[in-house]
Structure 1
Amino acid sequence: MSKRFLILLLLSLSTLIFSQDVELNRINALDEFKWGVKFYNQGLYEKSVFSFERSLSYDSLDLRTHLWLGQAYFMKGDVEAALGEWSLLQEKDEAPIWLDKAVEIISARRGVINRMYSVEEWVTLYSKDINRASSVLSLNNGDSIIVSFMDGLLTKLNSNGAVIETYNGGFEPFDKPFDIIESDNGGYIVSEFMGDRISFINDLGIKIKSINPNDSPLSGPGFLSKNSSGYFYVSDWGNRRVCKFDMDGNLILSIINENLKRPTGVLAAGDEVYIADSVNKTVLLFDESGNYIKTVVSSGLDSPEGLSFKDEVTLLIADGVKLKEFNLNSRVLSDVTDLQGKASRITKGVVDVNGNTLTTDFNLGEFYSLTDISSLYGGLYVVIDRVSSINFPKIDVELQVYNRLGEPIIGLDNSNFLISENNRVVGTRDVVFKGSDNNLVNMSLLIDLDSTVAPYYNNLYDISKAFDSELIAGDRVSLITAGEYPEVVSSRKLNFGNDILEIDNNSFIDRDGIDLSIKLAASTLIPSREKREIVLVTTGVQKESDFVQYSLNEINDLLINNRISLSIIYLEDRNNPELDYIVKQSGGSTRYLFDGPGTKGIITKEREKKSGFYVLSFDSLKNIDNGEQFTTVEVEIDFIRKSGRSESGYFVPVKVLE
């Protein structure tokens, strides 16, 4: 055998072996990628990260795996690592457009306080001709109701501005309705200016009853407002007063004051009432008993009417040809909009659940939905939590939709979504679940077993029973302890109160970190569609070891990215700044057990929390394969003049193939 022949044989064998190694690496990389996707779609993000990292150990150049690894990092709370993975795609100009936008929004939200920004310009999203539009009511599901004074109609719009229904009062039509609020007893309350009455209507817009006190009749009832104590107020134009009623329509008192010449807008806030006066051009403050407190806005107004809150410290004031805002802290009055110079008599302005400003102009006969122009080019932020193919060919896509500030977008429907599989548009898709319409709660009650909690052992039972009494059918609760190692004690739907007795009085220790316990509590919630909340019972003791294995930011981002609130019941009158930070960022509550309401209302607040979570369902376009083919799912959202996009994917589950 010649020397040349041996060399060629060795080279051929080396090439063959190298090719086999390359192919084996490719197979291993794909196998680990498949497991990573499956774990991701099950909400097992730690395992997902591990599988994607193993996949990259076989093929470090696979950009698709880097993309998915970034998504898994993001959902497990490691946002810095996620941005690092995504930057690899951006550096190679391989990042999809939706990812560039997502990185931009995430980076902005992690910078200076995202809500401290100034509006560049208000622009019209859409408008409606409403004859003598006098007021507007924004509903928590994204709908709104506009009052037509001249036509005697209430027009209900969805969040896209489409007319859902119109109401005229039923058998006894409205007589020049002026304002509308929600009733605590269901339905709505409407003021009828020319009818000199207040009417209660059901959800179908049909009058249930009307009131006008015989001993103190109304004369031109106008603006309405209600408080959280079961009372509502109405400005009584002809009698130059404001009347207070209970929710059954009983007159409680009348606010009459020398400082009130012609009351218009009224705004109830706790145990106080703001009243606008169109003659004195002021906004006054009274207590709930009608006692004058002070003049809030004394100058700068021309013809103030409707009042509302923009936020906790800012009043929105409809003032003739302008909508204005007044900061209660800085006492600065500033212009919001004049409807691009077209305004004639703005009667009401309110901020809806999606952050848009809804405005009525009485003289123009127009209703406007306005938005900050920067929100248009800022777009929407879409996070796909998971794609479930367990019922293939039926596919469910669970996702969250936010604006650029991280605030949920409410009221989307089928018309707002476009779904594609491998770049092929899916014909029919259905929104089968909306978080905003869901009032069920999945809660993890996390009991701190630190030794400082031991003296309050007997109170733990009372806490659990108090929560138990607030649960409704469909709620779910897990009881978890934060001791030497976090542990799930029980998980059930109702009647969990006695489970607390399984915690031994001798279980309390000088525990280390709280991070692992919060992470375990979160893991019990992540697979669910209900609203998610962790309630931590603790003395608030702060330790250097609290956030060692997982940083404060990682735990905070884990909760936020998975729409989980953290609430705290303090057993001692102190605060833990690190925990309080997570509570504030995640939208939870803090309570001191022995002060005020205690545990009461924590679950209720979570039930009422806004949610931009949706579940879309569609039939897959693909045929059943061997379970090896990855299918990309793209979701695009078009919400009036705002848009957003994201993508995810799935493998056909093995059990479908069997």
Structure 2
Amino acid sequence: PTATPKMAASPLDIVLEIKNDNLFQVMGLALDQQGNMYVVQNRNGSDPRIHKFDPAGNLVTSWGSLGEGDGEFKFPALYQGGGGLAVDDEGNVYVSDGGNARVQKFDSNGKFLLKWGTAGEDDGQFGSPFGLAVSSQGFVYVSEYGRNVVQKFDTNGTFLGKWGDTQAAGTPLALAGFLGVDVAGNLYIPMYAMQKIQKLDPDGQMLAEFLGKPINSRPPAPYGVAVDEDGNIYITEADGNRMVKFDENGAILNYWGGQGAKGEQFDKPMGIAVDDDGYIYVADYANRRILKLRQP
């Protein structure tokens, strides 16, 4: 079901803007339970890093460099995999290392803990891992660019299952973006090429599929997704420079955006998160910033 979209009664309030040289092409974004922000920097693939900011926006630490070793990354070009990031309830950080066909796990200060995955199409292998989410139940979900599959692991990298079609494009999981989970552990898969969102239970069973009603003649094309405690769904549209809010049944409640760097404008928004108080965090890729936003 969809509702006629409307503009916000008042614009989003920018509570915090983090903008500096440490945020060159920001991609995945996640929060820990203390309100710290973690974000992936790509910098055209030449200087891949993870940055951690405290709730006030101060840089706490950074880690990573270009390479194939532990704690090193290869993030492919925009829209081609890698750059996903998630944080578990213990504060451990997971990163999809697309160019190295693996997932890496770190503690909250960037200490390397473990890695899993090699190049291939067998269980537990990857082409180019992309979206990443960790549920409170301890499951790690990884999507892949171009391979139309989501794999499920425990937090130690043990393979638990996979869903999707590994053959043809245009299948239900074609071009899945950055993943999201809700408090019940359900998985949300944004499919920007197919302009819809799928909701699956932890066993991969389809619960719902949302196809947004066109806004200004353009259907929402989700790239990143987050879910608040009430079940409302938020997506970023990297190509449309918008953020859209749905209710738990997929009806559009509101949308914001437009290309630019003022107010509620974006330039290729990617990673998105929502905290327990309803504040929205967006990795604004081309504007080189993180935004913390208050809803009207």
Match of 1:175 in 2: 24
Name the counterpart of 2:127: 261
Q: What amino acid is aligned across from residue 201 of structure 1 in structure 2?
A: F
Whichever residue aligns with residue 263 of structure 1, its letter is P
Unaligned runs of at least 5 residues, structure 2 = 76-81, 166-170, 254-275, 280-294
Question: Which residue of structure 2 lines up, in the alignment, with residue 356 of structure 1?
Answer: 232
Say whether residues 1:219 and 2:74 are aligned partners. yes
Residue 204 (structure 1) shift: 2.8
Q: Paired residue for 2:209?
A: 335
Among residues 106, 112, 127, which one is paired with 1:251 in the alignment?
Answer: 112
The answer as to whether partners of 1:126 and 1:368 remain within 8 angstroms in 2 is no
Offset, 1:277: 1.3
Relative to structure 1, is the Cα distance of residues 122 and 281 closer, same or farther in structure 2, using a 3 angstrom cutoff? farther
Aligned with 1:289: secondary structure? coil
Relative contact order (alpha carbons < 8 A, sep ≥ 6): 1 or 2 greater?
2
In structure 2, relative to structure 1, the CA distance for the partners of 1:355 and 1:234 (3 Å cut) is same
- How far did residue 411 of structure 1 move? 6.1
Q: After superposition, what is the alpha-carbon deviation per residue over 1:369-414, rounded to whole angstroms, capped at 9, x for unaligned?
A: 23369898xxxxxxxxxxxxxxxxxxxxxxxxxxxxxxxx9669xx
Q: Is the 8 A contact 1:346 1:360 kept in 2?
A: yes
Deviation (angstroms), 1:282: 0.8
Cα distance per residue 1:338-366 (max 9 Å; x no partner):
35272474211222244432110111111
Aligned residue for 1:304? 176
Normalised TM-score (structure 1): 0.32
Name the structure 1 match of 2:282: none
1:38-49 equivalent positions in 2, closer than 5 A: none
Q: CA deviation at 1:208?
A: 2.4
2:178 and 2:94 map into 1 onto residues whose CA distance is 13
Q: Using a 3 Å threshold, how does the CA distance of structure 1 residues 197 and 347 change in structure 2: closer, same or farther? A: same
> Is the contact made by 1:344 and 1:363 (CA closer than 8 Å) also made in structure 2?
no
Q: CA–CA distance in 1 between the matches of 2:213 and 2:99?
A: 30
The answer to whether the 8 A contact 2:2-2:213 is kept is no
1:203 aligns with 55
Among 144, 147, 157, which residue is 1:280 paired with?
147
Distance 1:373 1:335 in 2: 8
Look up the match of 1:121. Answer: 2
When normalised by structure 2's length, the TM-score is: 0.67
Conserved? CA contact 2:131–2:143, under 8 Å: yes
Give the structure with higher Rg (CA).
1
Residue 199 of structure 2 is aligned to residue 325 of structure 1: yes
User: What is the distance in 2 between the residues matched to 1:311 and 1:202?
Assistant: 23
Aligned counterparts, 1:110-509, within 5 A: 120-124=1-5, 126=7, 161-169=12-20, 172-184=21-33, 187-194=36-43, 195-212=47-64, 215-216=69-70, 217-220=72-75, 222-257=83-118, 258=120, 259-269=125-135, 270-298=137-165, 300-310=172-182, 312=184, 314-320=186-192, 321-328=195-202, 331-332=205-206, 334-340=208-214, 342-343=218-219, 345-371=221-247
Identity percentage of aligned residues: 19
Cα distance in 2 between the residues matched to 1:357 and 1:296: 22
Higher strand share: 2
Point out the structure with the larger helix share. 1
Distance 1:353 1:328 in 2: 18
Query: 1:123·1:373 contact (CA, 8 Å) conserved in 2?
Result: no
Deviations 1:285-335 (A, max 9, x none): 112222222113445211111111245253110112222222345812642
The answer to whether the Cα contact below 8 Å between 1:200 and 1:210 also exists between their aligned partners in 2 is: yes
Q: C-alpha separation between the residues in 2 aligned to 1:330 and 1:274? A: 11
Regions of 4+ moved over 4 Å = 372-376, 409-412
Aligned mates of 1:369, 1:347 — CA distance in 2: 13
Q: Secondary structure at the match of 1:238?
A: helix
